[in-house]
Each structure stands twice: as structure tokens, then as C-alpha cells.
Amino acid sequence: MAQGNIKRKPLVVGNWKMNTTADEAIELARSITTDIGAIIETDIVICPPFVWLSPIASVITNTSIKLGAQNLHWEDKGAYTGEISARMLKDVGCEYVIIGHSERRQYFGETDQSVNQKLKKAIDAELTPIVCLGESLQDREANRTNALITNQFNNDFEGFTDFEKVIIAYEPIWAIGTGKTATAEQAQEVHGLLRELLRQKTDGYNEVRILYGGSVKPKNAADLIAQPDINGFLVGGASLKAKDFKAIIKAVSGKD
């Protein structure tokens, strides 16, 4: 439900997931910064695996590209083997963190409750959370998309008010890593719903950026970003190919 001519600065986030060796990560980051590192029309974030955060932070220094993480724990420290705290992420230079990605929900038992806890911890640590939600193919085919998205939204943001500090990412689960993509119209329908849900929570609903994630590629980026409530992308596979990732950024920035 877009209103007026609100201008939201686009955001493109590259989620590298569990990919790259150290050398591959550094080379990919260097390739991305070439002729992209100075773009100011679009905010750019890359989210490498935890172990490569520090070296990648060095590569993107003095560019417009920001560093993000793929997950965090809701406690500051303690006996949580294998986990990463918000304080650790801040210490290596992260400014953003992905929370509640569908793969975290599917494979690692992430729940709306844990998303809510992580969201609040990210805000406390002055990290910008990118909160993910989306429906399965079964939900879409059963016409349950709107009900599921509404329920997820309300649970994920229960007791939360700092919406001006949040990024939301709609990622239809049926389009993650499958090569399938929601049409621009399908994506806008859900983004419009999310805008309306935000309107019910905050006066600043029109400033919140809502990203689309789900097999985003250079060939569909322009059509998707043209929709009034799609304000950027959470990019998976295409972010591992510097040429494709840069093409998406240029499409979003109007430089293609």
C-alpha cells in the first residue's frame, strides 16, 4: 500500500551463505568493490560467513559497501557453543545482521520467538536487523499467504516499536534457491500487505525499507524494483558472482 512519492533509498544485500574459502571470499569482495564501491544511489551490504567477516571488512574499507552477518545469538556472552554475539559482530565491523532467514527456520529450528529475541538484541547493539519472513509453496497454493505473513509479522515484532531501525525482507520459501521467482505483481502484493501491517504499528511505516529475496537475478531485478513497495533485494546465489551482483546493483541504481 504505497502512498505519495515517498523516496526510500534502495538497499541490496548479498547473502553468501555457507560458501567461499578465504581466498575466494577476498577475491569476490574485491571484484564487487570494483566500479561498485563508489555507488551512492543504493546502499550495499555483503554478508559473508562469520569466519571471513574480519578480512572482508578490510577489503571494503573506504568504499560505500557495508558489512553484515548472517545470524546472531540473543545473549551477550556465555556457554553457547558455536554461537556469535551481537557484540562480537560489532567488534569486527558489522553494521547489519540477517535474522530469521528461511534456511535458519527450516534447518536450525529458528522460531518467531527466537527471531523476536534476536531482533531486540540487534537493536540494543545498534546493528540494523534484516528480518526475513515468507510462505511455503503449500501455503501459497492453499491461499494462506496473507494469513501466514500477518501471523509471522505479528509474532516476529511482538512488543517491538523501533520500526525505523529495521529492514524487512520478504522471501517466499518456494523461490529460495529453486530458480523460481515471484512475479513482480505477486511480490508487490505481499510487500503491500507488509506496508499495511507496518502502518498499523508505526507512523513511520512509509520509511521502512522492504526487500524482496527469492532467486533475484540481473534479468528480473529491474521489473521487481519498479514496484512501489519493493525497496531492494536480499540476494543469495547471484551475490556469489561478482558480475551478476553488480548487474543487480546497477539495475536498482538506474545505471544499467
* Residues marked as catalytic: 101, 171
Output phi, psi for 120, to 5 deg. Answer: -65, -35
Output phi, psi for 99, to 5 deg. Answer: -130, 130
Buried b (16+ CB within 10 A) or exposed e, 138-149: ebbeeeebeebb
Identify the helix (H) or strand (E) that includes residue 233: strand 232-235
3-state SS class at 20: coil
In angstroms, what is the C-alpha Rg of the chain?
17
Whole-angstrom distance, CA of residue 235 vs CA of residue 212? 8
